[in-house]
Amino acid sequence: MFVGLKQRAGSGDAVRRRNKIKRFTASDAVLLFILAVFAILILYPFYNALLVSIVPNTVYLRNQSLMIIPPKISLDAYNFTFKSSLIWIGYRNSLLITVFGVIYNMLLTVLCAYPMTKSFPGRKFVRFFIVFTIYFSGGLIPYYLLIKDLHLMDSLAVMVLPTGLNIMFMLIICQYFQSLPSSLEESAKIDGAGDFTVLLRIILPLSLPLLATFTLYYAVDRWNEWYNAMLFVKTVEKWPLQNVLRTIINDIQFMATQNIPGQQRPDVQGDAIKMSSIIVSMVPMMCLYPFLQRYFLSGLTLGAVKE
Amino acid sequence: MSADSVTIGKVKKSVFQFSRLRREILQYKWIYLMLLLPLAFFVVFRYMPLYGIQLAFKDYKLAGIKASVWNNYEHFKYMFLEPGFLPAFRNTLIISFMRILIGFPFPIILALMINEVRMARLRRVFQTIYTFPHFLSWVLLAGIMLNLMGSTGMMRRIVGLFSPEMSDNWNFLYDGGTFRWLLVLSDMWKEAGWGTIIYLASIAGIDQALYESTEIDGANRLQKIWYITLPGIISMIAIQFVLRVGAIMEGGFDQVFNLYTPPVYAMGDIIDTYIYRLSFVRASGVNLGFPTAVGLFKNIINFILLIAANGVCRMLGQKTVL
């Protein structure tokens, strides 16, 4: 409780505040109860998915997944999921487009954000040129025909190249660059450093926490990619994980027929396979999220806080 | 004599201005070089599609955009006769209004509640849990939801405990009436935590001295929220509200597309899913000009709404991007 008070004590009489003991009142109890209920509402669907994936078929049919603790555990569904090549293909492709996508996204974002802090001739026009694309776009068919004309159909590149940069992220980073003390840059320029050197040696090292956050956001976006793949990628071997998941969720037979040739479909119910695939594809996020939550939770308020 | 010198002066001046511009451009040459790559991206993937918009006024031919022939606004005349268009348009508006009415206040209330938790660590735990679903895709979450709400799911069992009759006629996912609620509530479930971040940051910016002085005046917790916290974030609420209203034509393609099924098309189909099905799901030989026209119609309304929202935000004293 003191931790909370200390953080909240602002410019006022901090000593007096700290000495004042706040009691845990009924309103606190009600508040915590409501918040805890909502937290359970958030988490339970995931726990339920885990349960469905690990109970044997007979238990599932009897209980219809209304369980708190699994009465019996069977890893058949995971066996099936891991054996399918489709999940691993999805993992590999998603990993590839995430790695290359994030590099590409961050490169474009930084190369756009840094120049926008300079008052070069034509800056206003460039800004308008970029921001206009938030307000107006061609729509689905023109986009589809463009990708076709560029011969990007059915390639991994179609899940990376059109993502480009997020304008909001870019503007926030730009705002942050502007808030850095200009004296550092000026003295480097006097020593003969060019714009690229200044960006690499001074600006970027000073913005690492911010860049980390946006790298993470881009990574999440690329990892969750499915839209471009659905529109343009027909070859199963090039699907990212989300599209593999979509197919498993919508069409469980697909998995059985595509992946274990010559082998009979095991006696695992479809829901367990769906949920085990979902759990498997959530693993990277579940591993990263608790440790990087500071970056995940900074949100888009980063630019604003600085002011 | 004097006229000549004036002319010379003018010429000199313009030459001077020109050389200054050239000098400035040269001075910023590396800056322009840096911009080359991002601008190339915008030209190729954001501006080149605009060329294809002309298909909205043409009959599409496989030979390409150029080879297609103008058709005298046929698509726009046909739009209001097409049986799927008006329902999709109406659904988009209804679902958006439901999201604003119910979904918009929720993160604000949640932020106010989180802010009242006295232990900083517990606040952090709640926030971490609430924000988690934001980072997962609708593909994955729809999979979980469909299982939860489906015929073999937990919801049916829980409802069955109270009303066996409802459980026997379980049709939650395929009923148009409940489908919209599923959209609104599952979106709140996914995005509420993320939505609180901006309000919590805004609350953190309120001067603590205000709370102390009301405490001396004997204000209780609710009074402090009502008279200090809420007025402190009201401008942020207003801006978020305006931006939300500006995005009313966006019905949430990812969510709807992954959750809906043919039985709920009548109630759950939004413009974006309608355009998608027009373009790719219907029998081959569909005129791609028509979905282009529907997309253009949507984008123009969207454009006007966004510009208006932007203008209102500026009136509220917020710096805007355009």
Q: Is the pLDDT of residue A202 over 50?
A: yes
- The rounded distance, in Å, linking the Cα atoms of A200 and A223 is 27
Q: What is the predicted pLDDT for the residue at B2? A: 47
On whether any CB of chain A is under 8 Å from the CB of B109, the answer is no
Q: Which residues of A touch B250 (CB under 8 A)?
A: none
Taking the CA of residue A112 and the nearest CA in chain B, the distance in Å comes to 6
Nearest by CB to A64, from B21, B154, B212: name it. B154
pLDDT at B154: 81
A79 part of a folded domain: no
Nearest to A130 among B31, B42, B209 (CB): B42
Residue of A nearest to B321 (CA): A131
**Single residue among A27, A49, A74 that ends a domain in this structure:** A74
Per-residue pLDDT band for B8 (boundaries 50, 70, 90) equals low
- Per residue in B16-45, pLDDT (tens digit) is 777 888 888 888 999 999 999 999 999 999
* pLDDT of A268 above 80: no
**Among candidates A3, A306, A270, A27, which has minimal Cα distance to A177?**
A306
Residue A16 has pLDDT above 50, yes or no: no
Among the residues of chain A, which ranges form H helices?
A: 2-8, 14-19, 26-54, 57-63, 76-83, 85-113, 123-135, 140-149, 167-179, 182-190, 195-198, 204-206, 208-223, 227-232, 241-250, 252-259, 270-291, 293-296, 302-305
What is residue B85's predicted lDDT score, i.e. its pLDDT? 93
Picking from A5, A41, A296, the nearest residue to B131 by CB comes out as: A296
Grade residue B178 by pLDDT with cuts at 50, 70 and 90: confident
What is the number of domains present in chain A?
A: 2
Cα A77 from Cα B299, distance rounded (Å): 45
* Chain A CB contacts of B114 below 8 Å: 35
Per CB-CB distance under 8 Å, the chain A contacts of B118 are 1, 4-5, 22, 28
Count of all residues that appear for chain A in the document: 307
Minimum mean pLDDT range among A140-144, A278-282, B109-113, B313-317: B313-317
Closest residue by Cα to residue A167 from B311, B320, B136:
B320
Tokens of A211: 């860049």
One domain for residues A140 and A9? no
Average pLDDT over residues A96-102: 97
Share of chain B above pLDDT 90, in %: 52
Q: In the predicted model, is pLDDT for residue A307 greater than 50?
A: no
Mean predicted confidence (pLDDT) in A126-135: 94
- Please indicate, yes or no, whether residues A14 and A154 belong to a single structural domain of this protein: no
Contacts of B55 in chain A (CB under 8 A): 141-142, 145
Sequence-ordered list of residues with C-beta below 8 angstroms from that of B276, at least 6 positions apart, any chain: A140, B253, B257
Q: Which pLDDT tens digit goes with each residue over A61-91?
A: 776 556 778 878 888 888 888 888 889 999 9
For B81-121, the DSSP string reads: TSTTHHHHHHHHHHHHHHIIIIITHHHHHHHHHHHH---HH
Which residues does chain B have within 8 Å of residue A270's beta carbon, measured at their own beta carbons?
A: none
Residues of B in contact with A167 (CB under 8 A): 321
Given a cut of 80, is residue A2 above it in pLDDT? no
- In whole angstroms, what is the distance from residue B205 CA to residue B202 CA? 5
Q: How far is B51 from chain A (nearest CA, A)?
A: 7
Same domain, A235 and A155: yes
Look at residue A11 in the predicted model and tell me its pLDDT.
Answer: 41
pLDDT of residue B276: 93
B44 at interface of A, judged by CB pairs closer than 8 A: yes
The mean pLDDT of chain B is 88
User: Closest to B154 (Cβ–Cβ): which among A32, A65, A107?
Assistant: A65
Q: What angle do CA A153, A154, A155 make, to 5 degrees?
A: 95
Nearest-neighbour CA in chain A from B152: distance (Å): 6
| Distant-in-sequence, close-in-space partners of B60: CB < 8 Å, separation ≥ 6 | B68, B287, B288, B289, B292
By Cβ distance, the residue of B34, B47, B113 closest to A35 is B113
User: A111 and A22, same structural domain?
Assistant: no
pLDDT given for residue B152 in this prediction: 77
- Residue B206 to residue B290: CA distance in whole angstroms: 52
Domain termination residue (choose one: A47, A74, A101): A74
Query: Max alpha carbon distance in chain B (Å)?
Result: 106
pLDDT at A198: 92
Among residues A22, A43, A74, the one where a domain terminates is A74
How many Å is the Cα radius of gyration of chain A? Answer: 25
pLDDT band at A207 (very low <50, low <70, confident <90, very high): very high
Class of the CATH domain delimited by B75-315: mainly alpha
Do A291 and A216 have their domain in common? yes
**Largest Cα–Cα distance in chain A?**
77
A139/B292 Cβ within 8 A: yes
Q: How far is B1 from chain A (nearest CA, A)?
A: 37
Q: Which of A20-24, A220-224, B65-69, B208-212 has the lowest mean pLDDT?
A: A20-24
Q: What average pLDDT is seen over chain A?
A: 84
CATH at residue A151: 1.10.3720.10
| H-helix or E-strand spanning residue B60 | strand B58-61
Give, for B74, the enclosing helix (H) or strand (E): helix B74-79
On whether the CB atoms of residues B128 and A297 are closer than 8 A, the answer is: yes
pLDDT value at residue A111: 97
Q: Residues A201-225: what's their mean pLDDT?
A: 93
Contacts of B155 (CB under 8 A, 6+ apart): B148, B149, B172
Is the pLDDT reported for residue B15 higher than 80?
A: no
Work out the minimum CA distance from B24 to partner chain A, whole angstroms: 7
Inside any domain, residue A152: yes
Closest CA to B149 of B100, B185, B192: B185
Q: Which residue has the tokens 């500071």?
A: A294
User: Which of A139, A285, A298 comes nearest B295 by C-beta?
Assistant: A139
Q: Mark whether A167 and A70 lie in a shared domain.
A: no
Q: Tell me the pLDDT tens digit for each residue of B240-284.
A: 998 899 899 998 999 999 998 888 888 999 999 999 998 888 755
Give pLDDT, residue A152.
95
d(CA A228, CA A242): 11
Q: Do B152 and A65 touch (CB under 8 A)?
A: yes
pLDDT tier for residue A234 given thresholds of 50, 70 and 90: very high
Contact A141 B207 (CB under 8 A): no
Q: Are strands B58-61 and B64-70 parallel, antiparallel or unpaired?
A: antiparallel
Domain enclosing residue A21, as ranges: 2-74
Phi, psi at residue B59, to the nearest 5°?
A: -90, 120
Domain ranges in chain B are: 2-72, 75-315
Q: What percent of chain B has pLDDT over 70?
A: 93
Q: Are B131 and A17 in contact (CB under 8 A)?
A: no
Q: What is the pLDDT of residue A109?
A: 97
**Amino acid identity at B204:** A
Segment B188-208 mean pLDDT: 92
| Amino acid in the structure at residue B130 | Y
Residue type for position B32? Y
B177 vs B308: which has the higher pLDDT: B308
Contacts of A10 in chain B (CB under 8 A): 207-209
